[in-house]
Structure 1
């Protein structure tokens, strides 16, 4: 997991079941974080979109859940003054008309 200590401080606030799901998501993200040499909370909009496509979500509910948790993580990083992002673009991506574009995309990585 990229930036494990910070992610663990985020995960500490949640129940074990939520932590497990987030840990899987963070593990998937670590490939993109290593490539970009930065944490998810500092991803550009384009980098965040690339990650969302790679999740290959098959339902609207699934991708909206990913987006929601990423929004919460970025908010946490911003509150801790760790993120360089001035806005949380995940707030807008979770809407049905925006989230559907990330469904069933086949990653080529």
Structure 2
């Protein structure tokens, strides 16, 4: 079976302090599988069924990604992609305006 990777990863809060990156259908199904039984409502079921349908080649990958985004947003666990700042992107702060004299 080929890995069915999303074009853009989805970031979700997994617990209080950790953020989980969902890059493919397998990641999404693992995340959904670990979701508490007591919190599995209709939006969860739609996302889970969409991911299963992609595995069975009955739905396009984008459909499952959209369903997963809707679920994460409604559950309040959707996170923005973390921003990586490289050292060369930070301007030195000399003087009042941060401009080298």
| TM-score when normalising by structure 2 | 0.30
Higher helix share: 1
- Which protein has the larger Cα radius of gyration, Structure 1 or Structure 2? 2
The higher relative CO (CA closer than 8 Å, separation ≥ 6) is in: 1
| TM-score when normalising by structure 1 | 0.28
Higher strand share: 2
